[in-house]
A and B are shown apart, each in its own frame.
Chain A
Amino acid sequence: MFQYILRRLGLMVLTLFGVSVAIFVLLRIVPGNIADILFDSAGMVDPVEKQQIVKDLGLDLPLVTQYAHWIGGLARGDLGYSYVSEKPVLDEILPRIPITARLAGLALLFAVCAGVPFGVISAVRQNTGLDYLLRLISLAALSMPSFWLGLLVLMAFVNWFGILPIYDKAPPTWGAAILMYGVPAATVGFRSSALIMRLTRSSMLEVLRQDYVRTARSKGLSEPAVTFIHALRNAVLPVITTIGIETAFLFGGLIVTETVFNIPGVARFLVEAIRWRDYPMVQNLVMFIAVIVVLVNLIVDLAYMFVDPRIRLRA
């Protein structure tokens, strides 16, 4: 078990290393570096000044050296400086993380709390009208662009309630805080909940066909006991794994939703950094995202191992 964790951590480091190389190279494939952009936007034309900027930012060094500087810095906790604001990258990213984290956590909570029960209902009432309705709704939810849902929600709030759930660093009331985080979180989580609902449904259907469900009934257990104690426990196992994969999709939803609702989180910041060609920022943000994704996958796999005795205790 311990060896397994070590092995996974090792693989994780290797993968992240690969990601860092990939993102570094990717950002520098096409000429048109930050100096040109800063230059053009500031209107300066003096080549000497440009040369100075290039030297200051270390852009004249060979790529490998630049990469080594970055990675070395990462290990020390120094993520470099933003090209745009000239502040340390860490200072820019750090305060934004909790905001996105709260949103992501709420979204996941919403997705599971909505997805699992509806999936169970759909499976237990298979092929009834309710089942078809739930399946259609979930398919429709998966077909809608996240950002459009966000726009529609905003529109509904503006036209029906007359208020805009705008982000406020210090929300005045509890109600305002709930609205501020809850509405965007529900928007992000909506799509995930549809996915989880479908997965729970098919997993549940599979489990309800199993012999041990029949055995449970033959013991005289009531249907609710059979469904929730015996069947559901087995059915949620693949859902746990999915949560890991879902986290990756969640980021996509976070990016657009933070943009729509104007929330100053890490996800929206990535888009801003890309628009500004702020390489150090983009590099580090992408690495951050990759670390989160890989870590969550590892945690989820471990949780799965913990929950399923067949893997935990190899006979």
Chain B
Amino acid sequence: MSEARAAFAMPAEDAALLAELRAGDGAAYERWVRASAPRVLSVVRRLLRNEQDAQEVAQEAFLSAFRGLASFDGSARLSTWLHRIAVNAALMRLRTRRRHPEEPIEDLLPRFQADGNHEHAPSAWAAQSERAVASAEVRKAVRAAIDELPDMYRDVLLLRDIEELTTEEAASALGITIAALKTRLHRARLMLRERLDDLMNELEGAPE
């Protein structure tokens, strides 16, 4: 697709930067790397949870972007395009890692009585969740809770709910079927909800 035909209209500052980058302007490239590196490093750290891997993959992502500048079709913002390259580079690295055998997850999922009713009546989070979103401390605790999910569930949750890949993209990236991806995503959300329940109940009792 040519830039002129792209449905997305690239902002003027992106177009100017892209022109400088394509012209081999070293100073522009350094500015771009310094401005973009925090976001790239944040994304790959989140996915890889290993600083050495994250830094290597961040470097690979910038190199891939550098190689792809000539063929970038302008159908997204430069930052979005680079973000996607970083996610893909991190996924490539994840695939090469030896995965741990699947852990038993029954204890991480909601519990039910023999008749199918909830073992513990779930409380309403509505009031607390607004406060929780606004709290840096709670956001940090939520990130920790995501980090503690078993790898195969955490990866799916990050790709779909946080990095916002489509179901098809995430399934393809992880080499699993769409049905398997949906099952894992739902379980990952249920596990995260269980982990956050204590946190939300503590908030309910805390003074505003």
- A, B assembled together: no
Residues of A at under 8 Å CB distance from B?
A: none
Residues of B at under 8 Å CB distance from A?
A: none
